[in-house]
Amino acid sequence: MSSPSSPAESAAAVATADGPRDFIRQIVREDLAAGKHVAIHTRFPPEPNGYLHIGHAKAICLSFGIAREFNGWCNLRLDDTNPGKEDPEFVQGIKDDVRWLGYDWHNLRHASDYFDVFYRAALKLIGDGLAYVDDLSAEEMRAYRGTLTEPGRNSPHRGRSIEENLDLFRRMRAGEFADGSRTLRAKIDMAAGNINLRDPALYRIRKVTHQNTGDAWPIYPMYDFAHALSDAMEGITHSLCTLEFEDHRPLYDWCVDKVDLPSHPELWQSVVAAGLEAKPAKPRQIEFSRLNLSYCITSKRKLAQLVNEGFVDGWDDPRMNTLRGLRRRGFTAAGIRLLIERVGVSKQNSVIDYAIFENCVREDLDATAPRRMAVLDPLKLVITNLPEGHAETLVFANHPKDEGFGTREVPFARELWIEREDFAEVPPKGWKRLVPGGEVRLRGVGIVKCDKVLKDADGNVAGLHCTLDPESRAGLPGADRKVKGTIHWVSAAHAVAAEVRLYDRLFNVPAPDAEADGRPWTAHINPDAKRVVQGWIEPAAAQAEPEQRCQFERLGYFVADRVDHRVDAPVFNRVVTLRDTWAAKA
């Protein structure tokens, strides 16, 4: 028996294997082939100040996917450096969403796990003359910072001695100063062409209770500082982020290089004390274009506004493009992964048509969703040549393309519900469904002819009387007789009442937050994004477990609501229609 391959051999083998060939994976392959890394280590670092949305899915699939493809590891790291906006509820939600998408992490970490390391690293930078305590207010710092065309000016406090800076920073740590009264800034270059290098803030005073560390710290590190050092401490080899961080890369590298964890045993001892086992690394930051979908917003602030101002029913409202909302809507993790695969990875920003996303979900559901019958706008159809009380059980395939789904029993009786839109007194051109005196095939039953139209006092169609051609039943000589249309049905005596929520896109314009027409983005909320109807479903549909998906034949794909659905009180959400209904609107 051959011995197991080493991590390096395993990664090298994967590096030459077939797989996606985007530019990031090519970089990874080249790094492995050159022997730069024993194993690939990535991370996904969301801030727990809200729920993840569809834009995060690309970062999740990329970071976790690359780690999986190259037999490496991916950490889930909660970037909890901004207390006051973060919440344990969001932490749990992030973990749930990542797992739902089909991924798990090598280590679960919090940036707050490293607060002691960040503090010691800041003391080291001060001691090396590379950081100073500044008394300028935020407004004054902006004024001193300069513009894209004009250099910044040195703060009057930039020349403080190392001893004074160390004293002030320690007193900041002790909680001696008021919020916002002082910051620790990197001493780089106020004339740098990249504004991010103009003495950026590394620490600020914020006396706010932290969701993970309580009141232990009155000062908190800034994102750029904490993120770079966290990557280095965790041994991250490839730090993948979206294009807006491209201009931050020089600062990222500056923080890693100037702190230089491997060369300072005292600092590294504090890393070990934080529970890390990886050797410190010089991570490589690589940027990619974010996922932008039409008819969507991905601003956390605006998503929170939708929730807080009551435009939706919560973070998991099926109209929201949060991962929780998409999950409750019935979108599948496989459909989302398929979207990310098809969009690909590049450095070119673009907007992807939402219809592509819907089609990815349809493609997945077409193969995985069993079929059921439901009627959402019922019209009574009575088969008059069947006796009163007639009832029988028919056997239907659960999936027309896959016998492995098996069969189910469907009750059939004299009185049926059909969709109101499947009957027209005055049919339009090309009509193939039921008309007075016309014939149509009842799905799985046979051919019926409309003999009589019943109307209410207002002249509205209230019911149909039809006759069934007994020779057209399955297995009989007339079963092959041709008619133009086939419609579905449910037995009125056996059907189960269900609440059916018909969801659609939340916005009715492709770029809702562009505000090109001078109207606020909330003015573009689609009033038809949610309609609730009472439908009738066959008994097998009512037995669905929460989150079980199916196709209601001829109507669309639906899911049993993961919160509200019960067998004795079914609630279904429409995932997507059977075909794109927005193309005609464009």
Which residues participate in catalysis according to the annotation? 47, 290, 300
Q: Pinpoint the alpha helices (H) of 70-113.
A: 88-100
Check the annotation: does 354 bind a ligand.
Answer: no
531 is in an annotated binding site: no
Q: Is 363 a known ligand-binding residue?
A: no
- Name every residue whose Cβ is closer than 8 Å to that of residue 140 and which is 6 or more positions away in sequence: none
CA–CA distance, 219 with 181 (Å, rounded to integer):
11
**Are 399 and 405 a contacting pair, CB within 8 Å?**
yes
User: The tokens of 243 are what?
Assistant: 């294009």
Q: Is 55 labeled as ligand-binding?
A: yes
Count CB-CB contacts under 10 A for residue 357: 26
438 annotated to a ligand binding site: no
Coil, strand or helix: which one is 473? coil
Q: Mark residue 398 as left, alpha or beta (left: phi above 0; alpha: psi -120 to 50; beta: remaining).
A: alpha
**Residue 242 marked in a binding site:** yes
Would the annotation count 49 as a binding residue? yes
Half-sphere exposure at residue 449, Cβ-oriented, CA atoms within 13 angstroms: 7
User: Which strands sit side by side in the sheet containing 201-205, from one edge to the other?
Assistant: 131-134, 183-186, 201-205, 219-221
Per 3-state DSSP, the chain is made up of helix, strand and coil in percentages (nearest 5) of 35, 25, 40
Cα–Cα dist 148/154, whole Å: 16
DSSP E strand stretches across 424-515: 439-442, 446-455, 461-468, 486-487, 490-491, 496-503
Is 41 assigned to a binding site? no
Give which of 22, 20, 68, 25 is closest to 44, Cα–Cα. Answer: 68
Quick one: which of 394, 503, 405 has its CA closest to 443?
A: 394
Would the annotation count 59 as a binding residue?
yes
Query: What is the DSSP track for 215-279?
Result: TS-SEEE-HHHHHHHHHHHTT-SEEEEEGGGGGGHHHHHHHHHHH-GGG-HHHHHHHHHTT--SP
Determine whether the annotation assigns residue 437 to a binding site: no
Give the residue carrying structure tokens 């579905």. 488
Determine whether the annotation assigns residue 535 to a binding site: no
Annotated binding-site members: 47-49, 53-59, 79, 223, 242, 290-291
Residues in the annotated binding site for L-glutamine: 79, 223
Task: Please state the residue numbers annotated as binding site for ATP.
Answer: 47-49, 53-59, 242, 290-291
